[in-house]
């Protein structure tokens, strides 16, 4: 009802008497516990992701090695028990896979190449007999010789050295079979106990035409001690 001021009075509402709206109850969901199969599946998936392709490949390789070694040991044991220590035909295939140490060649069976001789010399030693010039060169009483030509120590150098060696012999020179020192082939002529005894031979060599050339001679010939070639 309106009061004295003309306003309608509103009675307070009791909270207890206010209607309460019903709230929906929270549904109860029953989560089933994972079984053994589900747990194994998740575990295998985790292992696969952790190992990756390289890990799986390494595991497979290890299994193959273990299987191979186990089969070999079983076959070898069966063979020795059946044959009194000798492997049988059943495990012969396994035994063939095991490497057998090879015997080293006897060093004494290898052909020896004399010092100072090149590859061509060792193959054709019978074609070049020992001459008086070779014997004089190896005589301990002689100490000096003439170096008349030099070539590289290879197949081409040996071919040229032997050709010039034969040329010098054809010219009547006391040429010594070519000698090597380091990587050089030396063509030597004469042998004498002293330097002065080679003066005449040196002048003759320096004027001798070089084979295959019209204006070249052995002008660079010089004396050297024989001991330097041993």
Q: Are residues 123 and 219 in the same domain?
A: yes
Q: Are residues 153 and 218 in the same domain?
A: yes
pLDDT: which is higher, 102 or 202: 202
Tell me the pLDDT tens digit for each residue of 145-173: 999 999 999 999 999 999 999 999 999 99
End residue of a domain, out of 65, 97, 129: 97
Q: Are residues 218 and 176 in the same domain?
A: yes
The domain that holds 126 is classified in CATH as: 3.30.70.1070
Q: Are residues 86 and 162 in the same domain?
A: no
Residue 35 lies inside a defined structural domain of this protein = no
Residue 133 lies inside a defined structural domain of this protein = yes
Report how far apart, in Å, the C-alpha atoms of 154 and of each of 124, 160, 205 are.
15, 10, 25
Q: Are residues 63 and 140 in the same domain?
A: no
Q: Are residues 139 and 178 in the same domain?
A: yes
β partners of residue 187: 149
Nearest to 68 by CA among 97, 104, 88: 97
Q: Are residues 140 and 84 in the same domain?
A: no
Q: Angle at the Cα of 71 (from 67 to 76), degrees rounded to 5? A: 150
What band does 63 get if pLDDT is binned at 50, 70 and 90?
confident
- Give me the number of domains the chain comprises: 2
Which of 2-16, 49-63, 64-78, 131-145 has the largest mean confidence? 131-145
Q: Are residues 63 and 130 in the same domain?
A: no
Nearest to 218 by CA among 226, 208, 228, 229: 208
Q: Report percent pLDDT > 70 for the chain.
A: 48
Q: Are residues 133 and 188 in the same domain?
A: yes
Q: Which residues contact 3 (CB under 8 A, 6 or more apart)?
A: 9
Torsions phi, psi of 188, nearest 5?
-115, 150
Q: Are residues 123 and 91 in the same domain?
A: no
Residue 73 lies inside a defined structural domain of this protein = yes
Residue 174 lies inside a defined structural domain of this protein = yes
Residue 176 lies inside a defined structural domain of this protein = yes
Residue 207 lies inside a defined structural domain of this protein = yes
Residue 102 lies inside a defined structural domain of this protein = no
pLDDT: which is higher, 51 or 176: 176
Tell me the pLDDT tens digit for each residue of 184-230: 999 999 999 999 999 999 999 999 999 988 889 999 999 999 999 98
End residue of a domain, out of 97, 130, 156: 97
End residue of a domain, out of 66, 97, 128: 97
Q: Are residues 168 and 84 in the same domain?
A: no
Residue 67 lies inside a defined structural domain of this protein = yes
Residue 68, domain extent: 51-97
Confirm if 122 and 177 have CB atoms less than 8 A apart.
no
> Mapped to the 3 state alphabet, what secondary structure does the chain carry?
CECCCCCECCCCCCHHHCCCCCCCCCCCCCCCCCCHHHHHHHHHHHHHHHHHHHHHHHHHHHHHHHHHHHHHHHHHHHHHHHHCCCCCCCCHHHHHCCCCCCCCCCHHHCCCCCCCCCHHHHHCHHHCCCCHHHHHHCCCCCCEEEEEEEEECCHHHHHHHHHHHHHHHHCCCCEEEEEEECCEEEEEEEEECCCHHHHHHHHHHHCCECCCCCCCECCCCEEEEHHHHC
pTM score of the predicted model = 0.47
Q: Are residues 137 and 222 in the same domain?
A: yes
């Amino acid at each position: 009802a309106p009061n004295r001021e003309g306003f309608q009075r509103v009675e307070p509402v009791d909270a207890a008497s206010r209607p309460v709206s019903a709230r929906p109850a929270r549904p109860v969901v029953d989560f089933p516990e994972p079984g053994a199969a589900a747990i194994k599946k998740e575990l295998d998936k985790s292992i696969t992701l952790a190992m990756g392709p390289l890990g799986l490949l390494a595991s497979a390789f290890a299994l193959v090695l273990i299987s191979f070694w186990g089969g070999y040991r079983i076959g070898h044991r069966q063979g020795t028990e059946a044959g009194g220590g000798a492997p049988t035909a059943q495990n012969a295939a396994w035994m063939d896979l095991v490497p057998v140490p090879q015997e080293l060649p006897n060093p004494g069976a290898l052909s020896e190449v004399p010092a100072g001789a090149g590859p061509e010399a060792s193959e054709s030693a019978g074609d070049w007999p020992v001459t008086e010039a070779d014997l004089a060169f190896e005589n301990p009483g002689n100490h000096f010789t003439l170096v008349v030509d030099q070539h590289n120590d290879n197949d081409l150098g040996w071919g040229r050295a032997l050709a010039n060696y034969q040329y010098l012999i054809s010219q009547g020179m006391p040429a010594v079979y070519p000698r090597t020192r380091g990587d050089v082939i030396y063509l030597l002529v004469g042998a004498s106990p002293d330097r002065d005894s080679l003066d005449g031979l040196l002048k003759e060599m320096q004027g001798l035409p070089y084979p295959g050339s019209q204006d070249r001679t052995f002008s660079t010939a010089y004396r050297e001690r024989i001991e330097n070639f041993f």
